[in-house]
């Protein structure tokens, strides 16, 4: 079971997550990265299958960079959340879901 916590304050956000990759009583790794930076101002905390999580983060980074280049200004946090939710939703429609 993965634990991720996010705390918002007036000055910023604190993200925390455990480092263990496990399923039930099986521990696949004791040191896994579960907090990823999308850029200098945006980060995500992941719970679920780590291979899907890493793929989703890399895809979100690429889509954000492409969108920022097309528009000429950076993507907001709200737009990033919508982008990731659209990626996850579209994968569920094709019966190839992300387990995150």
**Domains along the chain with CATH numbers:** 4-93 (3.60.20.10)
How many other C-beta atoms lie within 10 A of the C-beta of residue 63? Answer: 17
CA distance 2 to 17: 8
pTM for the model stands at: 0.78
CA distance 25 to 28: 10
- The phi and psi torsions of 5 (rounded to 5 degrees) equal -135, 140
pLDDT of residue 76: 93
Strand, coil or helix: 24: coil
Distance set, CA 52 to CA 37, 46, 99 (Å): 16, 10, 6
pLDDT of residue 95: 63
Band the pLDDT of 100: cuts 50, 70, 90: low
Task: Please give the positions annotated as active site.
Answer: 2
User: 74 pLDDT exceeds 90?
Assistant: yes
């Amino acid at each position: 079971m993965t634990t991720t916590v996010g705390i918002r304050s007036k000055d910023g956000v604190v993200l925390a997550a455990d480092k263990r990759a496990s399923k039930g009583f099986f521990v696949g790794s004791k040191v896994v990265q579960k907090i990823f930076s999308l850029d200098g101002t945006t980060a995500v905390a992941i719970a679920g299958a780590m291979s899907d999580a890493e793929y989703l983060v890399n895809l979100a980074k690429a889509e954000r960079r492409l969108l920022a280049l097309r528009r000429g200004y950076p993507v907001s946090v709200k737009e990033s959340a919508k982008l990731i939710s659209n990626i996850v939703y579209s994968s569920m429609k094709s019966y190839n879901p992300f387990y995150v």
